[in-house]
Amino acid sequence: MTLALTLTVAVASFEATATSALMPAVVADIGGRSWYPLVFGLYAVAELLGLVAGPVLVRSAGPAGTFVAGAVLHGAGLTLAGTAPYFGWLLAGRVVQGAGAGLVTVAVYVLVGYYPAARRGALLGYLAMCWALPGLAGPVVAGAVAELASWRAVLLGVPLFEVAALGLAARGLRAIGRRRPGGDEPLRAGRRFLAALALAAGVLAVLNVRTLPAALTWAVLGAAVLAILAGAAVLLPSGALRCAPGLPAAVLVRGVVAAPFIGVQYLIPLSLADGRGYTTAGAGLALSGGVVGFSISGLMFTRPWLNRIEPVRVVVAGVVFVVAGMATTAAGLPADRPVAYVFLGWVVAGLGVGLGVTALNVIVLDAAGEAARGTASAGMRVAESAATSIVTAASGLALARAAQAGVAVPAVAALVLLAFAGVLVPLLVAARRLPRRAVTVP
């Protein structure tokens, strides 16, 4: 089961980065350049809907059935996309694929919850490494296969690894196949579905707000944020938006802690290319430092000494590292500053995100209990998606306005990184509301 879970996460990470790298070749082959943004937008919406449907399916079909259903949908979506004769067919595949990814995400967390508490931290550390490292190889391997064969070979090859993962997990899945998490409160699927639609519409709106006329920007952005908050109020645990102590605070902090790191990272290669003349490969190398830092954090969680530390303390340390890393990166972005600050800072930020996210995953799985692990796991990813979209939109608007005023990209990027590093500081206070427990590792 452990090998199957790690392989599943690694395949998902590889496919996500490979798809981004392959899209130019796909468009050149079957057309659809004007629909290009929908490749990622529709996937994001479908994934959100899968995350919402996941807890409902876990209660009816169990985590094993949800895992299998999600893997089959994801593989079917990739097969549709890989055989697409035209762009609409490809988009249909991305929708099926995204729904499957949402179901698998929920199922993986629920399955991790069945492991003994003392082993969850190590397993989540391995999963963190398996998510980070394939991202480094994804674009390179996908590009090489596409040049030697075609982009279709990449998309059609991934489901083979998913079949292998299901085969590896078969014994473990059969062992827990009949388990159904209990729960006193019904999941009101219809209400959650409507909330997911509102949140998905808000996410799509904020991600595309830069393309709107200036007169509409703020009105649309405000309406989108309201839609996101309305959807989140239903989909997150009760009290999460006000950071109520216990599980609600843990889900909210988990959703917020990684959002600045994810939402502003595109500014780093842009700044290095604009301010220092770096090539695309050289500028992108700075982002690899974040992957390295994230992987180091995963490796740390596989060591018993870290799992003996109370998880809330690890969260606090992670937030401190993220703030320090983003501030250091910002200090190195102006052309007259040592560029080493950028590379070092982003490694530190990635390390902090990995520590914070993994420790919060442990906290949420412990606090939720078997009955609520599905909804809590979905809530973490929903919160992260919403927060990341808002950060991305805000940083994009700042960049667009600065460009109109003639301000250099590195200067704007540095200010944006510092601003969002400051946004994370209140999490140090919010950490007092997180559930606490003493961890002992045999």
50-92 pLDDT, tens digit each: 998 888 888 888 888 899 999 999 999 999 999 999 888 999 9
Measured distance CA(166)–CA(4) in Å, rounded:
7
Residue 296 lies in a domain: yes
Same domain? For 162 and 290 the reply is: no
pTM of the model: 0.85
Measured distance CA(92)–CA(215) in Å, rounded:
34
CATH of the domain at 371: 1.20.1250.20
Q: At what angle do helices 340-405 and 311-332 cross, to 10 degrees?
A: 60
Same domain? For 300 and 168 the reply is: no
How many domains does the chain contain in total?
2
Helix (H, G, I), strand (E, B) or coil at 178: coil
Give the position of tokens 């974040």: 290
Position 180 confidence tier, pLDDT thresholds 50, 70, 90: low
Question: Which burial class, exposed, middle or buried, applies to 167 when counting CB atoms under 10 A from its CB (0-12, 13-18, 19+)?
Answer: exposed
Residue 435's nearest CA partner among 374, 351, 376 is: 376
Same domain? For 162 and 254 the reply is: no
Sign of CA dihedral 106, 102, 99, 69: negative
Domain that holds residue 99: 1-119+131-176
Residue 204 lies in a domain: no
Measured distance CA(201)–CA(266) in Å, rounded:
23
Same domain? For 1 and 82 the reply is: yes
Question: Which burial class, exposed, middle or buried, applies to 433 when counting CB atoms under 10 A from its CB (0-12, 13-18, 19+)?
Answer: middle
Same domain? For 417 and 330 the reply is: yes
Measured distance CA(134)–CA(127) in Å, rounded:
11
- First-to-last CA distance in the chain? 21
Task: Indicate the DSSP class of residue 338.
Answer: -
Question: Which burial class, exposed, middle or buried, applies to 211 when counting CB atoms under 10 A from its CB (0-12, 13-18, 19+)?
Answer: exposed
Same domain? For 250 and 161 the reply is: no
For residue 262, the one-letter residue type is: I
Same domain? For 141 and 281 the reply is: no
Predicted pLDDT at 178? 65
The lowest-confidence range among 43-47, 355-359, 376-380 is: 43-47
The lowest-confidence range among 23-37, 238-252, 257-271 is: 23-37
pLDDT at 218 over 70: yes
Same domain? For 171 and 265 the reply is: no
Predicted pLDDT at 433? 94
Same domain? For 271 and 168 the reply is: no
Mean pLDDT of the region 354-361:
95
Measured distance CA(87)–CA(281) in Å, rounded:
29
Measured distance CA(135)–CA(10) in Å, rounded:
9
Cα separations (Å) of 116 from 288, 338, 362, 442?
Answer: 33, 47, 11, 11
For residue 242, the one-letter residue type is: R
Q: How many CA atoms lie within 13 A of 306 on its CB side?
A: 25
Same domain? For 160 and 296 the reply is: no
Given a contact cutoff of 8 angstroms between Cβ atoms, the answer to whether 126 and 305 are in contact is no
Same domain? For 288 and 420 the reply is: yes
Residue 311 lies in a domain: yes
Each residue of 363-418: pLDDT tens digit?
999 888 777 888 888 899 889 988 988 888 888 888 877 877 888 888 999 999 99
Same domain? For 247 and 349 the reply is: yes
Residue 72's nearest CA partner among 90, 99, 45 is: 99
- Please calculate the CA angle 171-118-246 and round it to the nearest 5 degrees: 110
Residue 192 lies in a domain: no
pLDDT at 185 over 60: no
Residue 66 lies in a domain: yes
Residue 343 lies in a domain: yes
DSSP string, 210-267: GGS-HHHHHHHHHHHHHHHHHHHHHHSPTTGGGT-TTHHHHHHHHHHHTHHHHHHTTH
Predicted pLDDT at 440? 43
Predicted pLDDT at 442? 39
Residue 193 lies in a domain: no
Measured distance CA(254)–CA(383) in Å, rounded:
8
Residue 79's nearest CA partner among 27, 155, 17 is: 155
Position 259 confidence tier, pLDDT thresholds 50, 70, 90: very high
Residue 356 lies in a domain: yes
